[in-house]
Chains A and B, each alone.
Chain A
Amino acid sequence: MSGKEVFYQGNEACAEGALYAGCRFFGGYPITPSTEVAEFLSRRLPKVGGAFIQMEDEIAAMASIIGASLVGKKSLTATSGPGMSLKLENIGFACITEVPCVIVNVMRGGPSTGLPTGPGQSDVMQAKWGTHGDHPAIALAPASVQEIFDETVRAFNISERLRTPVILLTDEIIGHMREKIVIPEEGELEIWDRPRPECPPEEYLPYDISKGIVPPMADFGSGYRYHVTGLNHDASGFPTNKPSLVQPEEERLMAKVTENLDILEKYEHFTKDGAKIGVVAYGSSARSTKAAIQQAQEEGIPVDFVRPITLWPYPVKPTIEMGEKVDYIVVPEMNLGQMIDEVQRCIEGRAKVVGVNRVDGDPITPENILEKIREVA
Chain B
Amino acid sequence: MSIAKALKEETIVSENSEKDGRKITITPRYCKGCEICVKLCPESVLEIKDFKIHVARIDDCTACMLCELRCPDFAIEVDGKAKKGKSS
Do A's and B's CB atoms come within 8 Å in the complex? no
